[in-house]
């Protein structure tokens, strides 16, 4: 459960004194003593992060080239180029090892 300051609306922080806990606001002088026992902590569920390169579907229709895998030394790799920086910078080439047992990803 989140608690907000009734004066300014900012999130209240739990602080610990020598013998008690209290909620305090870091932007105004509001302080509220906590009565009772703090028994559990709950953490918010983190948002799932999408794969930057598009996941497995991004590698379905790509070409392959002669490139040595740094992980298994296989001599063939799939590749794709993506503009990751500003337009005046060169494109970034991403590789994926063609050895299905390896599948190592790297970039150039």
Q: Is 98 annotated as a binding residue?
A: no
The whole-model pTM stands at 0.52
Residue 55 phi/psi, 5-degree rounding, is: 75, -155
- Name residue 79's beta-bridge partners: 63, 95
Domain with 102, as residue range(s), is: 55-107
Q: Is 97 annotated as a binding residue?
A: yes
Q: What is the mean pLDDT of residues 22-26?
A: 90
Q: Is 69 annotated as a binding residue?
A: yes
Torsion angle, CA of 26/31/35/41, rounded to 10 degrees?
Answer: -10
Q: What is the mean pLDDT of residues 25-38?
A: 84
103 has a pLDDT exceeding 80: yes
Answer yes or no: do 32 and 72 share one domain.
no
Q: What is the pLDDT of residues 33-88, one digit of tens each?
A: 887 776 677 778 888 877 777 777 788 889 999 999 999 999 999 999 988 889 99
Number of domains in the chain: 2
Answer yes or no: do 3 and 29 share one domain.
yes
């Amino acid at each position: 459960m989140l608690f907000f300051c009734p004066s300014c609306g900012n999130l209240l922080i739990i602080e610990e004194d020598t013998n008690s806990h209290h909620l305090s606001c870091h932007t105004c002088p509001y302080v509220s003593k906590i009565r009772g026992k703090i028994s559990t902590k709950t953490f918010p569920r983190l948002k799932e992060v999408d794969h930057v390169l598009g996941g497995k579907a991004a590698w379905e229709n790509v070409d392959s080239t002669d490139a040595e895998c740094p992980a298994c030394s296989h001599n063939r790799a799939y590749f794709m180029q993506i503009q990751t920086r500003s337009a005046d910078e060169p494109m970034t080439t991403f590789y994926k090892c063609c050895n299905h047992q390896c599948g190592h990803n790297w970039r150039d």
